[in-house]
Structure 1
Amino acid sequence: MKTEGTENSKSASEMPDKILGTGSQNVALKREVGLFSSVCLIAGIMIGSGIFMSPEWVLYYMGSPGASLLIWAAGGVLSMLGGLCYVELGTTIKESGGNYIYLLRNFGPLPAFLYMYTTLILTGPSKTAANALSFAKYVAAPFYEGCAPPQVVVKCVAAICILVVTAINCFNVKLATGTQNVFTAAKLLALFLILVGGVVVLIRGQTMNLQNAFQDTAVGFGPVGLAFYQALWAYDGWNMLNNVTEEVKRPQKTLPRAILIAIPVVTFLYVMVNVSYFAVMTTNEFLKSNAPAVTWGSKILGTWMWLIPVSVAMSTFGTINGTTFAAGRVWHVAAREGHLPDIFSMVHVQRLTPFPPLIIKAFLALCMIIPGDFVSIVNYCSFMTWLVIGVSTAGLLKIKIIEPKHPTSYKVPIIVPVILLIASVYLVLAPIIDKPQIEYLYAVLCILSGIFLYFPLIHFKCHPKFLSKITLHLQLFLQVIPTAKNID
């Protein structure tokens, strides 16, 4: 923690030059993420397992293809509004950390700590584990034709995936962003393949599945909210670039450009891919399919349908890589602010990557590789995500009202964060009001449980005395050093 961080820094300054290098006071994460890599980071995180697994559940809740397509389009519009708000937040508060740093600067340490605590122990690792398991299932499937792969095989492949991604991100930033660029290009090509296949089917006159597109549409406060949860799970990641603001080249220009390129492209692809799904499959076929993309591939690609599992595997791998790159920075910033042990704020002396948070994130994700209900995970994580987005958006409104002339190169009309805040409140409350479930109570209890750690450890600074010694030994073992902020 901060009090012990001073002792740790002094101890670190006495370490050998071969470990410390030229001096930790001048060490910072490098600005190596350009516009292309920024676009690939956003799009690469957004396009994961969601577009291959969520469409059937959007249809399930909405009841008709037409209403489902409206939900997918509305999800893209909402993500775009959110992206614009986060551009202003990122160019006003020029620090990495995303939601964590915005909560800290606008509402103080307690909300920021609760967000960091919840992300650290639950939502972050669970998302990584869920994506890793999806990756493993598609990788293992070709070796077990006619039956489901054994769980032990799936878990082992998922664990290997997490370890490989962690190694890539620990090696250096360029390798991590380069990997992201390659896998983003691959997944874009995969979605484009599905899009083109659907267009060909429609051109040939196979439009019967899209006739009476709004028949049997479900209406109600709750079903629409749950359908949004499923669609927005696929859009999740539009705000991840804000986690690495200090590593983005010329963030004042790159942030808005990356958002304005990535989100519209992903929205167009998502809507058109769903059009392709509906053109090929009837509503009943869609709902009975556990993997709409695979069913689509079996109908259209024939012997080439193996391209779909490969595409899904590459898509999920790219998402895991992107979220690992971005999420590790949140813990790095939280430690720098005193909300985690100082070891998490340090970077490798030569590679300048945040070793400690990346390693602990991998460990927690490995612990959470267990079979789970995809829908429950999505609803749980979406509830938490939009609760935090709503509070961060309220922080932007606070800035715009209290400091209307705050210095920034980019400002959105105040109506944009107002709409986003209303949408966030709706997405948090709609499922609870319509159909209360125990998972939402667990979510609230998980957040509130962080209070029991905050007051003794952060507010009253009751730190174990042995922590400084452990930090020093970990510094020597991992060859890491403290860093300075990079907000020029």
Structure 2
Amino acid sequence: MGPLLHGQPWSQPVNMDSLCGILSMLGALSYAELGTVIKESGGDYIYILRNVGKLPAFLLAYTSVIVARPAGISAISLSFAEYVVAAFYQDCPPPQVVLKCTAAACILILCIINCLNVRLSAAIINVFTFAKLLVLLVIIVGGMVLLAQGHTQVFQNAFENTAAGFGPVGVAFYQGLWSYDGWNNLNYVTEEVKNPEVNLPRAVMIAIPLVTCIYLLANVSYFAAMTPQELLSSDAVAISWGLKVLGSWTWIISLGVALSTFGSANGTFFSGGRLCYVAAREGHLPDVLSMVHVKRLTPSPALIFTTVISLIMIIPGDFSTIVNFFSFTAWLFYSITIFGLIYIKIKKPDIPRPYQVPIIIPVIVLIAAVYLVLAPIIGSPQLEFQYLYVVLFILSGVILYIPVVCYKWSPKCFQSITLYLQLLLEISPCDRND
């Protein structure tokens, strides 16, 4: 199972799409080394815990479980809803209530699937990824036909009226990297991957360059069919492309992209539940979230908790805002994870490493991550307070860390609630070797 990347390629300038693919590739190669050194599930959380310390790991778990992962699931589900509903509202924008109810239904279905069977969830990821590739192939071939017919005028002065400041470029990276987010999802399920020393690096080196080429060609096709103004005004770019190129056959694109985004949401759900489960297993979240179903062996409490938070986030959120705040939080913790990799490469060179990357690669990723954290704040003063609120929320985890982790404080009612949930959900503690 290769890296699980989000949805369809959002329409970005072609050179930005390439840069996002390269950065994702470098990040994934760095994470592959971490996954072969620390063979535990949990991704960033477990790497920060082992390499940096308990407090940063707790802040990651606290932020990811309550904000970042549910935000990612909500954003992809809203994207799924846009493409599903677009087929019924071709002449006008769909009502927000319809979009959000469709997104909520998507999240609930994903919760049921992931709680029922791990193999079913993995199979859905693979099948829907194949469907995504078929749709992208249709878009790419259609674009090649348009280029052969001479539709190249949009590529003349392609970068006219574009912003190139410190902040706008960072925000553009957020939107482009969103399509590639998921390059580290396998690291969240390392314990469930066979022979991770071989399969983690292999998945990265095959899947991400392939995805980058496909996304690049798909964006070329979009620009061959539509003007920049049409791209910017469209809430569902692939549908707009289909209406101009395929006409009455646009439903194929709508169906394919809906399947694609559903599969991507499932991948985020799959990894997000594992993060919640591993953090609880390490004592950084309530014990009930580390339990699994006695028969199906799925981390159903963690999945249900993620579902509830994701549903709440759909109510006030819109896609672009969720993506920006998710990306800001994600790259903040990516930078800490990569710093931990550089630290052990310098301070602990004798650790057995079945696979390793030259140190220049994580250094480049760390510089890029720091830039992506600072760019929206420095370059967009009108948004700096919003990002400040995100930072304050992350730091507020320290208030919980001291009593809950340092002093092991737990309200007495938690024991009764945990026992009740064990009986209701048929769950029990699970040894990591089970």
Q: Could you tell me which residue of structure 1 aligns to residue 417 of structure 2?
A: 470
In structure 1, C-alpha distance between the alignment counterparts of 2:314 and 2:336, rounded to whole Å: 30
Pick from 96, 121, 126 the counterpart of residue 176 of structure 1: 121
SS at match of 1:305: helix
Displacement, 1:217?
A: 4.7
Q: Could you tell me which residue of structure 1 aligns to residue 265 of structure 2?
A: 320
- Structure 1 residues 470 and 290, CA, compared in 2 at 3 Å: closer, same or farther? closer
In structure 1, C-alpha distance between the alignment counterparts of 2:316 and 2:86, rounded to whole Å: 16
Which 5+ residue runs of structure 1 have no aligned equivalent? 1-37, 59-67
Q: Could you tell me which residue of structure 2 aligns to residue 459 of structure 1?
A: 406
Q: Could you tell me which residue of structure 2 aligns to residue 286 of structure 1?
A: 231
Which has the larger displacement, 113-122 or 138-147? 138-147
* C-alpha contact 1:246 1:486 (8 A) present in aligned 2: no
In structure 2, C-alpha distance between the alignment counterparts of 1:309 and 1:389, rounded to whole Å: 33
Q: Does 1:248 align with 2:193?
A: yes
Q: Could you tell me which residue of structure 2 aligns to residue 423 of structure 1?
A: 368
Aligned residues: 432
- Structure 1 residues 373 and 366, CA, compared in 2 at 3 Å: closer, same or farther? closer
Give deviations 1:336-394, integer Å, cap 9, x for gaps: 10011111111111111111101111111122222533322222111111111111000
Displacement, 1:257?
A: 0.9
Q: Could you tell me which residue of structure 1 aligns to residue 390 of structure 2?
A: 443
2:424 aligned partner, one-letter code: F
* C-alpha contact 2:135 2:256 (8 A) present in aligned 1: yes
Q: Could you tell me which residue of structure 1 aligns to residue 427 of structure 2?
A: 480
Structure possessing the higher radius of gyration over alpha carbons: 1
1:181 aligned partner, one-letter code: N
Pick from 140, 156, 174 the counterpart of residue 85 of structure 2: 140
Matches within 5 A, 1:182-331: 182-331=127-276
1:46 aligned partner, one-letter code: L
Give deviations 1:402-445, integer Å, cap 9, x for gaps: 11121121000010101000111111112211112122112101
1:450 aligned partner, one-letter code: G
In structure 2, C-alpha distance between the alignment counterparts of 1:422 and 1:144, rounded to whole Å: 44
Displacement, 1:331?
A: 0.8
Displacement, 1:69?
A: 1.1
In structure 2, C-alpha distance between the alignment counterparts of 1:382 and 1:71, rounded to whole Å: 16
1:374 aligned partner, one-letter code: F
Q: Could you tell me which residue of structure 1 aligns to residue 359 of structure 2?
A: 414
* C-alpha contact 1:139 1:309 (8 A) present in aligned 2: yes
In structure 1, C-alpha distance between the alignment counterparts of 2:309 and 2:103, rounded to whole Å: 13
* C-alpha contact 2:42 2:187 (8 A) present in aligned 1: yes
Q: Could you tell me which residue of structure 1 aligns to residue 7 of structure 2?
A: 48
SS at match of 1:249: coil
CA RMSD of aligned residues (A): 1.6
* C-alpha contact 1:226 1:379 (8 A) present in aligned 2: yes
Give deviations 1:205-241, integer Å, cap 9, x for gaps: 2212112334445332222212111101111110011
Q: Could you tell me which residue of structure 2 aligns to residue 72 of structure 1?
A: 17
Q: Could you tell me which residue of structure 2 aligns to residue 396 of structure 1?
A: 341
SS at match of 1:413: coil
* C-alpha contact 2:142 2:221 (8 A) present in aligned 1: yes
* C-alpha contact 1:101 1:112 (8 A) present in aligned 2: yes
In structure 2, C-alpha distance between the alignment counterparts of 1:243 and 1:333, rounded to whole Å: 9
In structure 2, C-alpha distance between the alignment counterparts of 1:137 and 1:463, rounded to whole Å: 42
- Structure 1 residues 431 and 156, CA, compared in 2 at 3 Å: closer, same or farther? closer
* C-alpha contact 1:225 1:431 (8 A) present in aligned 2: yes
1:190 aligned partner, one-letter code: V
In structure 2, C-alpha distance between the alignment counterparts of 1:214 and 1:362, rounded to whole Å: 41
The TM-score, its normalising length taken from structure 2, stands at 0.96
Q: Could you tell me which residue of structure 1 aligns to residue 330 of structure 2?
A: 385
* C-alpha contact 1:95 1:486 (8 A) present in aligned 2: no
Which 5+ residue runs of structure 2 have no aligned equivalent? none
Q: Could you tell me which residue of structure 1 aligns to residue 64 of structure 2?
A: 119
* C-alpha contact 1:396 1:417 (8 A) present in aligned 2: yes
The TM-score, its normalising length taken from structure 1, stands at 0.85
Give deviations 1:430-469, integer Å, cap 9, x for gaps: 2211112122112101101111111111112221123223
The share of aligned pairs that are identical, in percent, is 57
SS at match of 1:82: helix
Q: Could you tell me which residue of structure 2 aligns to residue 35 of structure 1?
A: none
2:59 aligned partner, one-letter code: L
